[in-house]
Structures are given as structure tokens and as C-alpha cells.
Chains A and B, each alone.
Chain A
Amino acid sequence: MSLLAKHQIVNAHLLATADKGRPRSASLRRAVSTAYYAVFHAICAACADRLVGWRQPWTVYTPIFRAPDHYATTQALREPFLTAIPELQRLGLLLKELQSAREWADYNPEPRPNYRLGTNDTPFTRQEAMRLIDSAAEAISIIDRLDDDSRLKLATRLVPRTRKMNPLR
């Protein structure tokens, strides 16, 4: 796990456990968002490391690191080209769950993800936030264990701004 990703997970834990008694919604939301970004940054780093290399100058590393798009990444991780690799299929499922939670955390005023109007849905909980942080750490460990070929396939699918590709190729 990169130091940046590791520290983002640590920060997410700190945020989720910061409040004594009932947690503040703001703390749990920032924790979930931070955990999601730890995973997304780990994916970006895996792509840039594989295609460019960490030792290259920022001028060539950063554009590749910045290339993956959030929504396009979850979509690509559902295509057969990548889901044929079981680790990438699992990563895609985790990322989708985390991305949905992060969308709620950053943008949605309702008390929990997938809030149902007209019901007695309870507010988001500390334990749910901790579980999402744990799943983010799991996602990063999947990325860390990817072999060279899997990293190359992931990077070549996420980085180029191509016209619509045939997912079966």
C-alpha cells in the first residue's frame, strides 16, 4: 500500500472515531469520502506506475495519474475485458459500493445512502463507516496484489480517452 493510500485510510479511521458519544454526520461523511479517495488514488497510482513508472518526472507521471475518471472506472471494471480477472471483478464491486457511499457523503443531504422517503430509515452509523473503511483497505490490498499483466490491462482500459471500445476485445 502506498504511503498516501495508507495515510488516507488512517485518516478515515481517525475521522470515524473522532467524536465521543453519537458521531457527527460530518465526521462519518468525511471518513467515507476519504476512504473512497484512498482506493481511487491507489488505482490511479497503479496505472501511472505501470505505464510510466514512479521514477519518471512529474511532468509525465501526473497526466497519467490524473487520467482515470471516477464513473468511467467503475463502468470499465464491469466489462468482460477486466472482469475476466477475478481480482479486478472484486475490486470493481467494492469500488462501486464505495463510490455510491461517497456520492451520498459528499453531495446528498439525506441521512443515509439509499434513503427511502416515507420510512423510518435511521441515520448512518459509525459501524457502517468503519466497515466501508475496512472494505477500502481490502480494495487497496487487491490492487497491491495485482500482477503486472492485470495492472497493464487495467491501465490501458482506464487511461486512454478512446472512442467506445468493443468490451469483448
Chain B
Amino acid sequence: MSQSRKDEQAEAVTKSTIARLFGANAIDRIDVFPTEDQAGEEGLSVTVFLKTDQENVSGARLLDTIVAVSEALRNIDDFRFPYVTFLGPGYEHAEDDARPAA
């Protein structure tokens, strides 16, 4: 199977798993893309954009999401680790670091 096909399958499985956990109404969109960890090991970056800040995603819920997505990926023989991030519209972003002009 080509890498792009494998990525497409991983994206579809990840999205359906998270939609099942949270309900489609709670989610604006989900971004899934391949990434690498600090040791150069392949992973998947999964960003869940919530529709509102009402959804309380606790640490335990984050863990449940990682467990569910990991299992769903393993079921399609994809052993990449899903790094899961939740973002809501009212989240308080850190101050930008000023970068020197190129």
C-alpha cells in the first residue's frame, strides 16, 4: 500500500473514532497529518477543533481518545502514535515570540 493511501486510511479511521467519542455536533473539524517525534519515529498529529469551549476535555478524556485512536489505527495495521490536541475558539494563546526579520 502506498504511503499516501495509508495516510488517507489513518485519517479516515481517526476522524470516525473521534466523532464517535465526542459526537459530530461537538466538533468543527479534525486535522490529521503525519509527524515525527524527537527520536525520528513516525507519528500522527491529530488536532480536534471543538465548536465551543463548553466541552470539558479532561486529562482522562484525552487518554481515552488516545487509547481509542491507537486501537483503531492498530486495527488497520498502522502503529503510529497519535499525538492528540484539542483546541477551542476561546482558548488563551500564548504571546507570540518576536522573531527577527529574515
Binding site for B on A (CB under 8 A): 22-25, 28, 71, 89-90, 93-94, 96-97, 100, 103, 107, 109, 111-114, 116, 122-128, 131-138
Contact = CB atoms under 8 A, between A and B. Distances in A.
Interface of B: 33, 35, 37-39, 43, 45, 53, 57-60, 62-63, 66-67, 70, 81, 83-88, 91-97
B1 to A, nearest CB: 23
A90 B65 CA distance: 11
Given A114-B83, A128-B86, A28 B94 contact: yes
A63 B95 CA distance: 41
B63 A131 contact: no
Contacts of B97: 25, 109, 111
A71 B39 contact: yes
By DSSP majority rule, is chain B's interface helix, strand, loop, or mixed?
mixed
A130 B63 CA distance: 14
Contacts of A93: 63, 66-67, 70, 81
Contact of A135 (B63, B81, B94): B63
Given A113-B83, A113-B85, A25 B94 contact: yes
A106 to B, nearest CB: 10
B60 to A, nearest CB: 5
Contacts of A24: 94-95
Contacts of A94: 59, 63, 66
A88 to B, nearest CB: 13
Contact of A114 (B57, B67, B85, B87): B85
16 contacts: A22-B95, A24-B94, A28-B94, A93-B66, A114-B85, A116-B33, A123-B93, A123-B95, A123-B96, A127-B86, A127-B88, A134-B58, A134-B60, A134-B62, A138-B58, A138-B60
B13 to A, nearest CB: 17
B95 A127 contact: no
Contacts of B81: 93, 96
Contacts of A28: 94
A131 B87 contact: no
Contact of B91 (A71, A114, A126): A126
B92 A22 contact: yes
A131 B58 contact: yes
Given A116-B33, A132-B59, A90 B67 contact: yes
A25 to B, nearest CB: 4
Contacts of A113: 83, 85
